[in-house]
Chain A
Amino acid sequence: MSDNVLLSVRHLSQHFKSLKAVDDVSFDVMKGEVFGLVGESGCGKTTTGRAIIKLYEATGGDVYFKGKRIVAGTLQYRQAIENAAADLKAGKITKAEYSEIKSKNVAEIRRARYDQHHCDDDYERAQVAAVKAKYDELIKNADGEKAAELQKEYKAELYKAKKSRLVTKIQMIFQDPIASLDPRMTVREIISEGLVIHGEKDKAVMDEKVYKMLETVGLVKEHAGRYPHEFSGGQRQRIGVARAVVMNPELIIADEPVSALDVSIQAQVINLLNDLRHELGLTVIFIAHDLSVVKYFSDRIGVMYYGNMVELATSDELFAHPLHPYTKSLLSAIPLPDPHYEKQRKRIVYNPLAEHDYSVEKPTMREIAPGHFVRCNTAEFEKYKAEMGI
């Protein structure tokens, strides 16, 4: 894995009982880019975002953040054992082979469960060690009063370090700015809640951070004492952004941040996210169904359909050469502010049963052109290649 990859999603599956909300989705997010996820409602794009930030227990697959496995599902190992059991019954493998496979996979499951629940331990240990190293030196060299002061500071820092978590480097902005803010908390409390949970006790530091954040998102200091209902939709979404950014994250998952806003306010929020991204060097996973906004904002786009990623390419490439029929249908549905164009626009209807024949060979993600992946089988692969003129 190259250093440039910040987040790597490998074969992620999220099943709710028999419903496969996300099924075997893989993609990488580079440092500093905006990765767009599009698809109609119910296609699993929000579930993907939530599984990454560990709001759900992933069923299968892994997510690596900065090289560390933060999400680990066990589905693939369980399936391997089941397959081996079936093979054993059919007489394809011997008993010894079966028990070898089983013990190997059971170990994997154990490791995955450990990673799922202890992914932050290493990070926490490293933070604690860093604080210890820093203050040991300082306290040794200081004397009398200053040492006592340092000791106090050291304790606070150590407390914070013990509370630090790797996953807080991923933050989320939610869709509905009304429902996602607690109506009984002031803006100050909302923004500083994350800081408090992670060990910040100094009121002055917290206030300073909150004020700075409010300014960054285009609000003013006086707003800190108010309640969410006193704000308009656009301002509320800014508070949501501030709450995420104050944790100093490296990756932001923005789940339809502008869908609930008016057109003119949408532009304000998009511009704000764009500015923040450049100033703070943020990486963003941008989940939306409005394709023109996604096109404008994202560097690369993944198209999802019923729990699968069907196409992934840079945004210009995707819009210039859509290959998968679902992508084509999605692009043909975008309304534009141009009556003459609109009267001619023909919507392409996507019918998966008519478009694909997967009875012989199951589809997988294949790279058609550099950086342009499509979910297809061999026959379709050739067809798409011909379409691209390669």
Chain B
Amino acid sequence: MSKKLEVKDLRISFRTLAGKVQAVRDVSFDLEKGETLAIVGESGSGKSVTSKAVIGILSGNALVEGGEILYDGKDLLRISEDEFYKIRGDKIAMIFQDPLSSLNPIMRIGKQLTEAMILKGKARQKSSRDAFNSYMKLLREYMVLAGEDPQQVKEKCDKFDKFEYCHIDLERAYNDAYEAATEASSDIENALFLIEKKAFKDPARTMKDLMRLCEKTISTYVVNGADADALNASVKLIRTNCNLMIKSGDYSVATAEFGKIKDILTAAIAKPMPNFFAMGYYNTFADKPLPELEVDELNKYLRRYLDDNFMLDFIASVNKALRYSAQRYNKEKQDVIDTFKQTASVFDSPEISNANVKQAADLCIKEVKESIDPLDINKDSMAYTFSTVIDNAVSIYLGAPDKNEREKKRFDRQTKKYESIVAKGKTPDWAVVPASYVDIDLARQNIKRLIERLYNHYAEVLENAPSRDFDQASVDIIDYLKENAANSVRYVSKQMAKHRALKLMEEVGIPEPRKRYMQYPFEFSGGMRQRIVIAIALSADPDILICDEPTTALDVTIQAQILELINKIKAQRNLSIIFITHDLGVVANMADKIAVMYAGKIVEYGTADDIFYRPAHPYTWALLSSMPDLDTNEKLEAIPGTPPNMIYPPKGDAFAERNKYAMQIDFEAQPPMFKISDTHSAATWLLHPDAPKVEMPKIVSERIKKMKKVGGAGNE
């Protein structure tokens, strides 16, 4: 299994009027493909904040103080909003807690489902076109630099450009006809059903629409030749008999003809798609008509023609350009490493010397900027984001003394005022906001860590440089160009979006999707609404789905249905899921791994079996014992008190105040994560070798004993 998402040492705070609230403190976890991670905790434990950071929708007063969220090699905390736009919704989607408030009450369900598809489709079209054009330009430049004849390069690239246009036109025409065919076939099915049920409303218009749709499907590669003639004949027959049928109410002619059309369309849909890329070249440059062949044979023939006449040569040129640029930029990267080595001492010295640090940082930024290979398809986000990140870190570091001084002055002033009021014998109705100083040491460490990370990264790249497969890379580039060209054609029309939306609605188990499509959210029950929200989340086919308490607002039977649906979709699409909830009972069936959070920290982390059968942290015990199950009769063990105020996080273990097993050390120092097994760890001093042996509460241990008997977990 591969890691999809990695969160390391995430720290997030919120600026509020009362002070800085530390919402997430050093949270680390990872998520593998097809795995469900459940984050369990009370409200205010930071579980929602963590998930919002992953999808990049933290509120404006949030401060990301440290850590990283790695997705696909990118650090989501540091990439630009433009880049995040391609990930949010497309790759990482979210289902929100309250299905009532996460849908727009004045928009029809259909509009809400298709809105994102259409907008994303348009945006993808534009960005693909831009990417294609700019990359072509770069490629020309580097081919010339690599020593090829400029005249020839121009010729080749123009050729590629030209037949790519032809390819796009062909594919667009095919797409339109194909889409019409799929839509017509489902519409015909619908109409036949209505005719059979004698509920055919507004037949004149419906049939007219259908006729028009059918005629649209006639195209060279969808419905052609004899099929097209047959289809035309059927359409003509229905058209001539249309008025007669409506008058008499006898639709037997329509039923028969529609049946024929439907067969034709079904066959057309099943046909493989021709290789339009190669066909584009053939049509543009071959000067002879296409041979009459079956699609498979035709594809082979076209491919050979393209390779022989153009492609192999073109790939060789690309290869040359790639080798040249790789060589050039590897040298630059080596320079960067050298620069880093030289400047390391500047950031090491404990005194802050303004000019030196600034100069060193600027030099690093300049060098790194120069070292980025523009021909890389997968952008090296670490290098790309280096300048903004290091700029930010340096300005924090350099501004720290001033800021701390200001903060101290403010704090002194406020304290003085407060004390003077107290001295007068009054009680002020405000409190002194505690001073929050910038940790200069931490700021410097931060800069050093950023540089070190890029250093290691570049060292690794250089080490792997000799073994790079340039042939493969060239083919990848052609594919990349092809894909972008294709994407700039593949626009999402309203009809296509509707078609996809209806399919999705069926997939998430909404009966009568056609009728439901035109309704408003208030016409849906809670469970149905949540299904719509899930469908919207799935509309962009994401890799990671974040479910933020998706069933808390629903009741038991509906909850079970929604959980089953999420499990089913996960299995079908091999999704990775982050499941956030406060109810341990819900996650028993869902989760592969569970992280129990309290006061912004993960206090216990393990597989579902670890957490439910071998819980180790007192908070997990408390969570398990505070909910009744079907055999509970004794008094529930409620957790006394409320979670701590995170403006003033406790010095020791945050749970110590409410913990009846708390020891002296719990109030003095924060426990580290103690490893219990390979998959299981917990942050409690009870696991320290010197700690006294403590048994978990009886209510929990007995329940586990019983579960082992019933569930068969004792076999392990």
Contact = CB atoms under 8 A, between A and B. Distances in A.
Contact of A266 (B556, B586, B627, B635): B627
A42 B525 contact: yes
Contact of A338 (B42, B558, B586, B707): B707
Given A271-B635, A342-B589, A264 B42 contact: yes
B590 to A, nearest CB: 8
Interface residues of B, number: 47
B636 A263 contact: no
Contacts of B640: 268
Contacts of B632: 292, 296
A264 B639 contact: yes
A292 B630 contact: yes
A339 B555 contact: no
B710 interface: yes
Contacts of B586: 335
A232 interface: yes
B603 to A, nearest CB: 13
Nearest to B626: A267
Interface stretch (B511-519, B577-585, B669-677): B577-585
B584 A40 contact: no
Contacts of A333: 556-557, 559-560
B641 to A, nearest CB: 9
A335 B624 contact: no
A40 B555 contact: yes
A267 B639 contact: yes
B585 A343 contact: no
Given A291-B556, A295-B628, A339 B639 contact: no
Nearest to A218: B640
Interface string B628-668: 11101101111110100000000000000000000000000
Contacts of A336: 585, 588, 629-630
A217 to B, nearest CB: 14
A268 to B, nearest CB: 4
Given A335-B560, A339-B608, A347-B564, A296 B582 contact: no
A296 B629 CA distance: 7
A268 B628 contact: no
Given A233-B43, A296-B636, A289 B555 contact: yes
A362 B558 CA distance: 28
A337 B560 contact: no
B612 interface: yes
B638 A232 contact: no
Interface in A319-347: 319, 329-330, 333-345, 347
B711 interface: yes
Contacts of B635: 271, 274
Nearest to B608: A339
Contact of A343 (B43, B589, B637, B710): B589
A279 B67 CA distance: 52
Task: Tell me what chain A mostly uses at the interface: helix, strand, loop, or mixed.
Answer: helix
Nearest to A342: B589
Interface string A259-272: 00011111110110
Given A263-B623, A319-B630, A339 B557 contact: no
Interface in B215-263: none
A225 to B, nearest CB: 12
B712 interface: yes
B627 A267 contact: yes
A296 B628 CA distance: 6
B711 A341 contact: yes
B180 interface: no
A293 B608 CA distance: 23
A264 B622 CA distance: 8
* Chain B CB within 10 Å, residue with most, of A41, A262, A263: A263
A380 interface: no
Interface string B421-440: 00000000000000000000
A267 B630 contact: no
B526 interface: yes
B713 interface: yes
Contacts of B711: 338-341, 344
A177 to B, nearest CB: 13
A40 B623 CA distance: 25
B556 A334 contact: yes
A293 B628 contact: yes
A28 interface: no
B559 A335 contact: yes
* Chain A CB within 10 Å, residue with most, of B525, B585, B622, B707: B585
Contact of B629 (A262, A337, A343): A337
Contacts of B591: 339
Contact of B582 (A40, A234, A262): A262
Interface string A344-379: 110100000000000000000000000000000000
Contacts of A334: 556, 585, 630
Contacts of B583: 263, 335
Contacts of A291: 556, 630
* Chain A CB within 10 Å, residue with most, of B554, B563, B630, B707: B630
B309 to A, nearest CB: 59
B26 interface: no
* Chain B CB within 10 Å, residue with most, of A42, A335, A336, A337: A337
B612 A338 contact: yes
A274 to B, nearest CB: 7
Interface string A84-105: 0000000000000000000000
B589 A264 contact: no
Interface in A226-285: 232-235, 262-268, 270-271, 274
A10 B561 CA distance: 34
A290 interface: yes
A268 B639 CA distance: 7
A337 B556 contact: no
Nearest to B716: A340
Contacts of A274: 635
Nearest to B711: A340
B585 A41 contact: no
10 contacts: A263-B42, A267-B636, A270-B636, A289-B556, A292-B627, A293-B627, A295-B628, A334-B556, A337-B588, A344-B711
Interface of B: 42-43, 525-526, 554-561, 563-564, 582-586, 588-589, 591, 608-609, 612, 622-624, 626-630, 632-633, 635-640, 642, 707, 710-713
Given A295-B628, A295-B630, A296-B636, 6 more contacts: A263-B627, A268-B640, A290-B556, A292-B628, A336-B629, A347-B560
The 7 closest A-B pairs by CB, nearest first: A340-B711, A296-B628, A342-B589, A267-B638, A267-B626, A289-B555, A333-B560
